[in-house]
């Protein structure tokens, strides 16, 4: 039973002090935990993002990563997923629109995994960037984005 326990923006370059949305290249890092007692074998992960007031009803997954066979999260283990080939580059105007509440930054995606019996499962997540208190994500979005099956 894998659950996403956190979403964060991880800077890929030196952070420049300024806007509450990171004024730097960054990537979406997802933290997840296996709440079950048996291992989960991760097969795919997606970390997509968009700028919009609200996401569309149906998610469009754009950043799907196929994981190598044997990517295991042991029972009761916490871990995170990040890559070095993925970056979010927003223009100064896009950052200002986020800070001015003209648009919102959404991070969403899924984790696909197989349990020890060979059954496939998928966990979806979605969060909206909240610029107050130094910036963080709050779980939010349509039910088509946040699910466990």
Q: Express each pLDDT in 84-122 by its tens digit.
A: 567 888 888 998 898 888 999 999 999 999 999 999 999
Structural domain boundaries enclosing 58: 2-148
pTM above 0.85, yes or no: yes
Q: Identify the band that residue 140 occupies on the pLDDT scale cut at 50, 70 and 90.
A: very high
The predicted pLDDT at position 69 comes to: 73
What are the tens digits of pLDDT across the range 6-18? 998 887 654 444 4
Distance CA 65, CA 44 (A): 6
CATH code where residue 14 lies: 2.60.40
Over residues 47-83, the pLDDT tens digits come to: 999 999 999 999 999 988 888 776 888 888 888 886 6
| Domain count within the chain | 1
Tell me the C-alpha to C-alpha distance, in Å, between residue 38 and each of 2, 5, 114: 11, 18, 11
């Amino acid at each position: 039973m894998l659950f996403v326990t956190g979403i964060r923006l991880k800077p890929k370059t030196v952070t420049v002090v300024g806007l509450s949305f990171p004024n730097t290249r960054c990537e979406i890092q997802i933290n997840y935990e296996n709440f079950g007692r048996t291992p989960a074998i991760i097969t795919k992960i997606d970390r997509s993002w968009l700028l919009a007031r609200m996401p569309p009803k149906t998610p469009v997954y754009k950043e799907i990563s196929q994981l190598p066979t044997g990517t295991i999260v042991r029972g009761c283990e916490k871990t995170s997923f990040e890559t070095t080939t993925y970056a979010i580059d927003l223009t100064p105007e896009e950052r200002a629109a986020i800070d001015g509440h003209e648009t919102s930054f959404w991070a969403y995606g899924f984790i696909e995994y197989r349990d020890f019996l060979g059954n496939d499962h998928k966990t979806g997540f979605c969060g909206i960037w909240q610029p107050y208190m130094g910036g963080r994500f709050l779980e939010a979005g349509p039910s088509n984005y946040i699910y466990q099956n």
